[in-house]
A and B are shown apart, each in its own frame.
Chain A
Amino acid sequence: MEISPFDKLLSKFKHPIAQPSRSWWMLFAIMLAFVAIGLVALVDQIVHGHQVTGMRDHVVWGVFIVNFIFFLGIGYSGAIMASVFHLTRIRWSKPLHRIVEQFALMGLIVGPVFIFLCIGRLDRILYIFTYARIQSPITWDVMAIMTNLVFIATYLYIAHIRDFAKLRDTTVLEISSWKKKLFEKLSLGYTGRPEQIKALNRAQNILAVTVLFTAILADSLLAWLFGMSLRPGWHSTLFAPEFILVALYSGVALLIVLMWIYRQQYKLNDVITDQHFQIMGFTLLLFCFGFAYLTLSECITEWYNVSETHRRWIGKFLDFNEYGYMSLATVAFAVGFPLIVLVIPRFRTPGSITVISVLILIGLWLKRYLIIVPTLETPFVPMQDLRPEYVHYQATWVEWALTLAGIGSSVLILMLLNLFAPVIPVADLEHDDEIVVPKPFYETLK
């Protein structure tokens, strides 16, 4: 019997949906080990207090808050991209929908964990709600993150319903009975009747619009948390658009990395094509220009400021004994190398675009570090007669171990999600004969 193209596509996800492979279990074990290392560090932090971290009286935030912003940025960018892809009905983006939806959820789960790690008295966590002040941007942020988490989890579920129905009915994959029952429940009896299609589309449309607005608002709130303080480097009207742009930039970079991994893992060359990498590479290029423009704008206005504190702050980015190398690395990773690779045609291969995306992710993590730490090290009243570790922040093994645990848990979340659904929305691709991905303008000039 000849196997249909759809079944052929679905069968590529036999591992891990029907049966996780050996390599899946190995990676799972490694990521669990990462999380375990983080748990050891967490116990040390709880037993001995925050003195085991590099955070002190003046530099009260460090790598934890950097990770918080980084992962939330990933989450919000995933939510924005998922909504835009869905609402604009861009056909070529269909294979990418699931990836962005999944990392949106991942970012919104992992990100907030890092803010809990900043709290010295976790036993007072409920005070955030019991003593909430609606005037406080922190209260808005807590509400916004929780709202977005619920919304994106629901959106992810709605976007899965068609695939759950396919997995319920498929005979191509030997799915265990408990999973079949689960798919039956989760698919809500969806069989693809026109009324059901209409209702599902409406539900998804409404939620996509809501997710789009709330994700933009929530990321802006995160930026205002900093922007509404008067500190040099934070008090900027540019902060909210910059946060959103940097989030989208890192989101697109992560999308490309995951596209490359899944393409290799599931042999999806005919679904996630080279042209997908080209068009997403072009998107990276646009965000790269935007990022460079906002960074220049921020630096030049701060540099022109007559305030002594602002000058001390900006001077740290030019001083190689302070943050000169990190600033250089940020610009090189997030602007320099991407421009070289994406502008020169012979370098624009899926592999090199993926490598550059990894560098961009590192560069944008460093950018968040440069937003937080140098500012906290530059208060308006100069710090005097203090021990060096109070003046200069240095992350400890505890913070790096918990960062590693964050990366590990992110991968674990994606791996667990992939146990229950393909990494591409197969049901949405069933009736698409061929995916035509548009070419960036420079491709058409050849």
Chain B
Amino acid sequence: MIKADIRHFTGGIRKILGSLLLLFISLTLSRSQDGPQRVFMYLDYFQSENGQYLLAEVKYRVEGEFTQLSDVAINFYLNTDTSQIKLGTVITGLNGKARFELNEDNLIRNVDGSAKFESIFEGNEGFSQATKDVTTKRVNLSLEGETEDSINTLTVSGIELINGEEIEVSETDISIFVKRTYSDLPIAEGTLEDGSFSTEFPEDLPGDDSGNLWIIARIIDHDDYGTVETRKQLAWGIPVSHVQEAGTRELWTRDAPLWIIMSVTLAFTAAWFHYFLSISKLFKIRKL
């Protein structure tokens, strides 16, 4: 009976050890079979009145966290129904991003006005290949401001361009922002219907000396259009003078507060006075 128990016990131990050994071997093998790291690619299309560009971003995971992949070549292509045309190559920067400026004259668009772009990272010893594509259409956004009865109204118009033909943009989300120092301040959100969207503009935003504000209308990451924006400067802000008043003495102004000047001058004058007093005693030594 006891022998059977012992046999049963040792058998159990053997099984556990065997499982652990198998686990260790499989872990070791899986680790040794680790090939190039997986690369995640993102591709976005941006257009505005200043032009259009593609922005590819490549990342990989380090201990579960995304890290930008810098100094690698990204090839950009235009895919038509019949062929793939290489547009160019850009090396990713420290932020893992590669920006490629598009020239409309060099693009061949489909009948519906769309163009399919593809970005390819060919891969290397350390990182696997990655591709991403985006299909986009050309859109013209415009901003107009109108003041009536002291109410400022902003109107955004969106026109889709299909082989020279203009078609009003519909059922498309649009956001309005005002440019601030560090980021864009959201003002309104809405939908472009029959090519336009109107909204009342707030009266209490601080502007520059003349009350100018940079107003931005933006379609964000749309399935067909990508990110589209237009900007316009309007004098709809409250004029705020950023010029310092002459004679202002603060910690943050050009001229220091008098108490700081006096304190620092006094401290250093006292120290250096005693220093020279001490030196004057030294000069006497030779004569004594």
Contact = CB atoms under 8 A, between A and B. Distances in A.
Interface of A: 133-135, 140, 143, 147, 150-151, 154, 158, 161, 188-190, 193, 195-196, 199-200, 202-204, 206-207, 209-210, 213-214, 217, 385, 387-388
Contact of B264 (A140, A151, A158): A140
A143 B279 CA distance: 20
A217 B251 CA distance: 20
Given A135-B251, A190-B285, A154 B261 contact: no
Interface stretch (B43-51, B62-70, B102-110): B62-70
24 contacts: A133-B256, A135-B252, A135-B257, A140-B264, A143-B268, A151-B271, A154-B275, A154-B278, A154-B279, A158-B278, A188-B282, A188-B285, A189-B285, A199-B282, A199-B288, A202-B278, A206-B278, A206-B281, A207-B278, A210-B271, A387-B70, A387-B94, A388-B62, A388-B65
A216 to B, nearest CB: 12
Contacts of A217: 267
Nearest to A217: B267
A148 to B, nearest CB: 9
A196 B285 contact: yes
B242 interface: no
Given A143-B268, A147-B271, A210-B271, A158 B282 contact: yes
B214 to A, nearest CB: 24
Centre residue among A133, A150, A154, A193 by max chain B CB count within 10 A: A133
Interface residues of B, number: 30
Contacts of B256: 133-135
A207 B67 CA distance: 57
Contacts of A190: 285
Contacts of B288: 193, 195-196, 199
Nearest to B282: A203
Contacts of B281: 199-200, 202-203, 206
Contact of A206 (B264, B274, B286): B274
Interface of B: 62, 65-68, 70, 94, 251-252, 254, 256-257, 260-261, 264, 267-268, 271-272, 274-275, 277-279, 281-282, 284-286, 288
A210 B68 contact: no
Given A199-B281, A206-B281, A217-B267, A189 B275 contact: no
A143 B268 CA distance: 9
Centre residue among A143, A195, A203 by max chain B CB count within 10 A: A203
Contacts, number: 75
Contacts of B67: 387-388
A134 B253 CA distance: 11
Contacts of A161: 285
Nearest to A158: B282
| In the complex, the 5 A-B pairs of residues with the closest C-beta atoms, listed nearest first | A203-B281, A195-B288, A207-B278, A206-B278, A189-B286
Contacts of B252: 135
Contact of A199 (B254, B268, B285): B285
Contacts of A134: 256, 260-261, 264
A203 B279 contact: yes
Given A134-B260, A210-B278, 13 more contacts: A134-B261, A134-B264, A150-B275, A154-B278, A188-B286, A189-B285, A196-B288, A199-B281, A199-B282, A199-B288, A206-B278, A387-B70, A388-B62
Nearest to B252: A135
B7 to A, nearest CB: 44
A150 to B, nearest CB: 7
Nearest to A133: B256
Given A196-B285, A200-B285, A214 B251 contact: no
A137 to B, nearest CB: 11
Centre residue among B70, B264, B268, B285 by max chain A CB count within 10 A: B285
A387 B59 CA distance: 10
A385 B68 CA distance: 8
Contacts of B282: 158, 188, 199-200, 203
A390 to B, nearest CB: 9
A203 B271 contact: no
A199 B264 contact: no
Nearest to B94: A387
Centre residue among B264, B267, B281 by max chain A CB count within 10 A: B281
A217 B264 CA distance: 11
Contacts of B260: 134-135
A134 B257 CA distance: 9
B63 to A, nearest CB: 8
A202 B279 CA distance: 10
Contact of A213 (B94, B251, B271): B271
Contacts of B285: 161, 188-190, 196, 199-200
Contacts of A210: 271, 274-275, 278
Given A188-B286, A206-B281, A151 B268 contact: no
A334 B214 CA distance: 57
Contacts of B254: 133
A209 B275 CA distance: 10
A147 B261 contact: no
Contacts of B94: 387
Contacts of A213: 271
Contacts of B62: 388
Contacts of A158: 278, 282
Nearest to B62: A388
